[in-house]
């Protein structure tokens, strides 16, 4: 399998290292994702509100 050939031989700690990298990168992805999502949401809401006020 290509994956097996690319990955270095992690030996007996394969699960641990895999877990560490998986959880860490996953948490980072969640953090970045949530930040982007919330940022976009608030930006949209603000633009709506300001447009509404301009129309008044």
Partner 1 sequence: MSLWEYANPRRFMATSSWLLPPLVVMSALLIVTGLVWGFFFTPDDFRQGSTVKIIYLHVPAALMAINAWLMMLVCSLIWIIRRHHVSALAARAAAPIGMVMTLIALFTGAIWGKPMWGTYWEWDPRLTSFLILFLFYIGYMALWEAIENPDAAADLTSVLCLVGSVFALLSRYAVLFWNQGLHQGATFSMDKEQNISNVFWYPAVISMAGFVCLFVTLVLYRTRMEIRRRRLHALDARSMAA
Burial 22-39 (b: 16+ CB within 10 A, else e): eeeeeeeeeeeeeeeeee
**15 φ/ψ angles, rounded to the nearest 5 degrees:** -60, -45
33 binding partner 1? (CB under 8 A) = no
13 binding partner 1? (CB under 8 A) = yes
24 binding partner 1? (CB under 8 A) = yes
Interface residue list for partner 1 (CB under 8 A): 6, 8-14, 16-17, 19-21, 23-24, 27-28, 30-32, 34-36, 38-39, 42-43, 45-46, 49-50, 53
């Amino acid at each position: 399998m290509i994956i097996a050939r690319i990955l270095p031989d992690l030996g007996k700690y394969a699960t641990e290292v895999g877990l560490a990298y998986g959880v860490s990168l996953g948490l980072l992805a969640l953090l970045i994702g949530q930040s982007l999502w919330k940022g976009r949401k608030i930006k949209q809401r603000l633009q709506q509100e300001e447009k509404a006020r301009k129309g008044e």
